[in-house]
Amino acid sequence: MTKTRATIIGWGKCVPPVKLTNADLEQMVDTSDQWIVERTGMHERRISHVEVTDLAEVAAKRALASAGLEPTDIDLLVLATVTPEITLPSNACFLQERLGAVNAAAFDLNAACSGFVYSTAVASSMIEAGIAQRALVIGAEKLHFLMDYHDRNHCILFGDGAGAAIYEGRADGSGVLANDLGADGKAGQAMVSPVLGTRGQLDRPRDPASDRLHFEGKTVFKHAVRGMEGSVRRTLDEAGLSVDDVDLVVPHQANFRIIEATCNRLGVPMEKVVLNIADHGNTSAASIPMALNDALTDGRVRPGATVLFTAFGGGLTWGSNVMVWGDRIEPVATSDADLPPTDKTVFDLLETNRAFFAPFHKAGSDS
């Protein structure tokens, strides 16, 4: 008897309309298009004028249409995010209500940039165990909320967006074959955002000096390459596969140089790698499902293909999933769900961030 596994049957993404280009960044920080492209591979990223649940809702509705399902067909909803709209209730419960997915258990998952891989491992394991039959997994982020747009070291990297996938239990040989998850909390201080937690007194004022994203790029780069390489090898070993068996790699879109270095160490040719980092930047938990959606749109996924996800993020966390694609690569239907329009410019949307962090930089220049 063929084992029941979790197969992707629907997919969708949501891209905010407002672009933050490298030329825009040149007007805000001491940087240049050449400097950014050489170090990251990024040309632009999107800035959201709505909340993270709004992004997730559009991606989810597009994934449901792609699968030909109704919201009531879903019995598990997992929303991976590091930028929740609120803490309680979970954003997944917000989303469940908006979609009308009344039969679904719902929860948020925070594994930073590894969130979609972690969520895939959770959903596929629950489907294999018979706890769920169809799972809607979304990665959604509004990362610009955390950014100091006076600091060129990290504000150039991150963008907003959402991606979704629907997993269904199948016993036809397709589906998730193996997962690998890991974390190194000792190294977690290399990437810290204290903004959304309960640390400190209830009446503690927001302070730009302490509420800034702490990001050690060189440390993260080193751990990312090692972490993803090891995770991929363990996942393939568990599935009884080799690197040569992989038809398509969908990595977290953190930085082109990280992706390239990891693939070089694994011996994966870049022709097998899905890249959309030039247009979207690093969208954390949203990056893999957004890139997967692009790969399907571009005709890069084939029925029966062996597809690999791998990611690395704050925590520090890492993980990989390997799967055999099912028989369908075209959406059953499309959704007209979309974000509301906006007449705001990117500078309008970033004005609050710029004003909040300005005193920190003024104090630094006065000292």
Give the C-alpha distances (Å, rounded to integers) separating 117 from 39, 101, 228, 235, 319.
25, 22, 12, 12, 6
Would you say the C-alpha torsion 328, 329, 332, 335 has a positive or negative sign?
A: positive
Quick check: 314 and 77 in contact, CB under 8 A? Answer: no
CA pair distance 64, 356, nearest whole angstrom: 39
CA pair distance 117, 179, nearest whole angstrom: 8
| Residue 77 phi, psi dihedral angles, 5° rounding | -130, 120
Residues 6+ away with beta carbon under 8 Å from 195: 145, 146, 211
- As annotated, the active-site residues are 113, 252, 282
Quick check: 246 and 236 in contact, CB under 8 A? Answer: yes
CA pair distance 42, 22, nearest whole angstrom: 8
